[in-house]
Structure 1
Amino acid sequence: MSAYVIDSELFRDQFSTEATRNIFSDRTTVQRWLDVEAALAKVQGRMGIIPQAAAEEIQSKAKAELIDLAALKAEMDRTAHPIVPLLRAMKQLCAGDAGEYIHWGATTQDIMDTGTVLQVRDALDEIEVALRTVHRNTVALAAQHRDLIMVGRSHGQQALPITFGFKAATWAEEIRRNLERLSQMRQRVLVGQFSGAVGTLAALGDQGVAVQEALFKELGLGCPVITWHVSRDGIAELASVLAICAGTLGKIAHEVYSLQKTEIGELEEPFAPGKVGSSTMPHKRNPPACETVVALARIARSTVPLAIEAIVTEHERDKMVLQTEREFISRLCCVTDAAAKKMAFVTGNLSVRANNMEKNLYVQNGLLLSEAVMMKLSDTMGRQEAHEIVYRICMDVFERGGTLKDALLNDAQVQGRITEADIDAMLDPHAYTGQAGVFVDRVVAAGTSPAGAAAAA
């Protein structure tokens, strides 16, 4: 039995993906540490700080498959230190005295922070690919269903007609904004760490900054203006932005879940024969993918307080916050990637039940168009008076039954102000969607234009 679902043979694909599990695996974690050490040796060899032969030997042996992870773990337990055992293992692997030159001028947190950033970069690549797919899918849904009329709801109640294209367009635009957030965040988060013991690079003298700049150019990371050993706002931003992204995915999933309810039946997540909804009720067609995404969004959100708390650090080094980050960064990336890829599947294969959308427009016997009636009556009386009259009529229809049309035709305060033809026109839900189509066109144009597509990419 696994201690956490991401490690479970049974449940791991609900809470993560193979890609993100590999990115944050022990083997990959060690490899990223070695990637940093190898890059450091490479630039220091080139600059003449360490022997070129030693630099080349370190690079050739900086391969995680050469490291005995069980032995490394045993040494980590014995030394209560994560990197020193790795340095000792590398010293044994390297020929001659080359191992003496590894980690020159670095401190443990430099290697671990930069290794983590490399892993985060890989995870963001996975997440962004999936989010771009969700964006394309929702833009396509918006365009395809631009004029498909459905009930718009507020506070869980029928409100006014909208189009499904309009609803999908709001999803697409929110995803586009999230892609923009991710792009902007990368500049601040994908920054390396090489600062030495307390951030001053004292061990390298006047060559420290040159080594730092060359190292991060080699790794393809941003170079910090100053150490961020105890400045964890970047990690807090990472958590916050990924939680927002997961939240949007959860919102879309919850909307599909809500509109798949039997009494509504307007949408359904992808269904295939063999998918079972219940062990006791064979008729059930549940939305398990959407339910899982909502849960993943909640898990992602739960990491944000931890990340914000970690901003409060002490002096020039503080392992307490690092231990916290070590727990939630991989979890956050895993659940966000899983949510994005599940919603890419859902939005790409969503069942849209147009017949049920049409049927639900008439469930309240005309009450859906009360605003249209009120605005028409306002032409011949004050708006507030019109509201009072229509409110009274609507509440009577709601409680006693009947139709809004009949109630309007038989109401003394309405008679003579609007005709039966006026009422029929006002109560047509297909004629009262406002500028929904215009808004859809704007979102679709932004999402499919070269500039818009580049922004979403």
Structure 2
Amino acid sequence: MPVHAIETRYRTNEMYALFTEEYKLQKWLDVEIALIKAHVKLGNIPPDAVDEVARKGKTSIVTLQRVKEIEREIHHDIMAMVKGFAEQCEGDTGKYIHLGATSYDIVDTAWALIFKDALSLLEKRLKTLLEILTSHATSKRELVCVGRTHGQHAIPTTYGMKFANWADEFARHLARLQDIKVRDVVGKFGGAVGTMASHVSSGIQLQRYIMDELGLIPNLISTQIVHRDRHAEIMFWTALVASTISKIAKEIRDLQRNELAEMFEPFAKKQVGSSTMASKRNPHKSERLCGLYRLLAAHVMPAMENNALIEHERDLTNSSVERIMFPENFILLDFMLVQFTSILQGIEINKAGIRKNLELTKGAIMSEYVMVELVGKGMSRQEAHEVLRQVAIRCRQEGISFKQGIQEDNRVGTYFKSNEIDDLFDPSRYIGAAPELVDRTVASIRDKWLKDE
């Protein structure tokens, strides 16, 4: 019976498949096959070994069940794989399997293969998400709304600005990913302490052959393991992407509040919001994303400690952590991206709610615009700020509009004609370069990341 929620709830089949025990075993076998091929190229073993390991190095032959059976006897998972592989090979081929290797030559190089596949899938998800975000940014480039700072109404902005800012952040995640694929997704074949001593004088060439066969970048230097600063960076990246998802999901949740009612996550025709309050429309998918982010973030510290606390040329304290941390962060992030993309595809914008909120402070959100215009007409900036601060206090106390407060204040009203005052309280006149900023951000993202999509 399943125990972990990943198995039944928080996963996609594509990413889940990359972290099954069967898939990991196949990657171990693939690395062992590449090792045999490299030895053949160097003339260390007979050429016919290649065909034999290629035929037998499959999980349909070297089964997970058999490898686990051997592991229960010898208490070593890599040697269990080696023995299970060797016993399936005919002739003398089995004796060459794992020649000159140590366990983490296999484990870390296999992790690199899995990371390569997993990051490729996440890259595809991010580009799909960027398509949706940039589309929203363009279509809402002039949809004026309240900007909020410190939880308070600030000045007008646009929904195009919101979506363009979010798109820009995800574009940075894609840029970081390109660096990670080069810097951190590496294989190694340095042997017991990284010196390649078991390969005599051919270690560097052997490693190059293996990595060329597997399509990986070879590690420049290592101990027995790939240094865990690389893996820590990958884990941090997954958490960082998740943090952006959580930030936007929180924004959706806040804007879906009854008091704001500007933006809503999709709600299916037969969807139930509450088991007791039939009227509820809870943003539970966005809440779910905020919750899952916490798990990914929580794995950053163990990843750091895997790098910080390892002993000498290696110990085994990283292994148990990584068997949990790597699958969880990749599987959960992939689920989050798919769920988040689905939310944004069906996001609902309530223009009536947006307009209501623009008018909620009775014009006070235009105070900066009024101040700028007063300075343009000759009042000092500091005087204008202080006068408008006093007007705002009076308006709050008396419950009158900011426009009325200005019209009735002799220090301000005399600076403006009647039609000018009307213009000062049109939020669409004070969005600055928002449309242009949106357009150039969208154009940059599409040119760099979506041109061939």
TM interval, short-chain normalised: over 0.9
422-431 or 135-144, larger mean C-alpha shift? 422-431
Q: Deviations over 1:282-302 (max 9, x none)?
A: 111222221122222222111
- Distance, in Å, in 2 between the alignment partners of 1:149 and 1:397 is 24
- Distance, in Å, in 1 between the alignment partners of 2:189 and 2:323 is 18
Q: Percent identity?
A: 36
The answer to whether the 8 Å contact 2:235/2:329 transfers is yes
User: Per-residue deviation at 1:206?
Assistant: 0.9
User: Per-residue deviation at 1:2?
Assistant: 4.1
2:312 aligned to which of 315, 322, 327: 315
1:79 aligned to which of 74, 77, 81: 74
User: Per-residue deviation at 1:330?
Assistant: 1.1
Tell me if 1:264 matches 2:239.
Answer: no
1:48 aligned to which of 24, 43, 48: 43
Tell me if 1:279 matches 2:279.
Answer: no
Consecutive unaligned residues in structure 2, runs of 5 or more = none
1:341 aligned to which of 333, 338, 343: 338
- Distance, in Å, in 2 between the alignment partners of 1:106 and 1:399 is 79
The answer to whether the 8 Å contact 1:306/1:324 transfers is yes
User: Per-residue deviation at 1:230?
Assistant: 5.7
- Distance, in Å, in 2 between the alignment partners of 1:129 and 1:398 is 51
| Residue in 2 that maps onto 1:110 | 105
| Residue in 2 that maps onto 1:5 | 5
TM-score relative to the length of structure 2? 0.95
- Distance, in Å, in 1 between the alignment partners of 2:45 and 2:53 is 11
Tell me if 1:365 matches 2:376.
Answer: no
2:401 aligned to which of 400, 403, 415: 403
31-40 or 374-383, larger mean C-alpha shift? 374-383
The answer to whether the 8 Å contact 2:56/2:62 transfers is no
1:352 aligned to which of 340, 349, 353: 349
Aligned length: 450
- Distance, in Å, in 2 between the alignment partners of 1:400 and 1:215 is 79
1:332 aligned to which of 307, 313, 329: 329
The answer to whether the 8 Å contact 1:230/1:314 transfers is no
SS at 1:414 equivalent = helix
| Residue in 1 that maps onto 2:290 | 294
- Structure 2 counterpart of 1:411, one-letter code: D
| Residue in 1 that maps onto 2:385 | 387
Tell me if 1:435 matches 2:430.
Answer: no
User: Per-residue deviation at 1:388?
Assistant: 1.3
Cα root mean square deviation, aligned:
1.7
| Residue in 1 that maps onto 2:420 | 422
- Distance, in Å, in 2 between the alignment partners of 1:192 and 1:398 is 65
User: Per-residue deviation at 1:74?
Assistant: 3.8
Tell me if 1:123 matches 2:118.
Answer: yes
Q: Deviations over 1:332-391 (max 9, x none)?
A: 111111111112212222212222212221111111111111222233322112111111
342-351 or 135-144, larger mean C-alpha shift? 342-351
2:95 aligned to which of 94, 100, 105: 100
User: Per-residue deviation at 1:117?
Assistant: 1.2
Equivalent runs, 1:51-200 vs 2, <5 Å: 51-200=46-195
- Distance, in Å, in 2 between the alignment partners of 1:333 and 1:286 is 27
The answer to whether the 8 Å contact 1:230/1:317 transfers is no
- Distance, in Å, in 1 between the alignment partners of 2:247 and 2:374 is 37
- Distance, in Å, in 2 between the alignment partners of 1:292 and 1:45 is 52
SS at 2:290 equivalent = helix
- Structure 2 counterpart of 1:170, one-letter code: N
TM-score relative to the length of structure 1? 0.94
User: Per-residue deviation at 1:415?
Assistant: 3.5
| Residue in 1 that maps onto 2:208 | 213
426-435 or 312-321, larger mean C-alpha shift? 312-321
The answer to whether the 8 Å contact 2:187/2:226 transfers is no
SS at 1:66 equivalent = coil
SS at 1:162 equivalent = strand
The answer to whether the 8 Å contact 1:41/1:59 transfers is no
- Distance, in Å, in 1 between the alignment partners of 2:305 and 2:235 is 12
- Distance, in Å, in 1 between the alignment partners of 2:368 and 2:324 is 52
| Residue in 2 that maps onto 1:453 | 450
Cα distance change of structure 1 residues 399 and 335 upon mapping to structure 2, 3 Å threshold: farther
| Residue in 1 that maps onto 2:218 | 223
The answer to whether the 8 Å contact 1:230/1:315 transfers is no
SS at 2:186 equivalent = coil
User: Per-residue deviation at 1:47?
Assistant: 2.6
SS at 2:260 equivalent = coil
The answer to whether the 8 Å contact 2:34/2:214 transfers is yes
SS at 2:218 equivalent = coil
Equivalent runs, 1:22-37 vs 2, <5 Å: 22-37=17-32
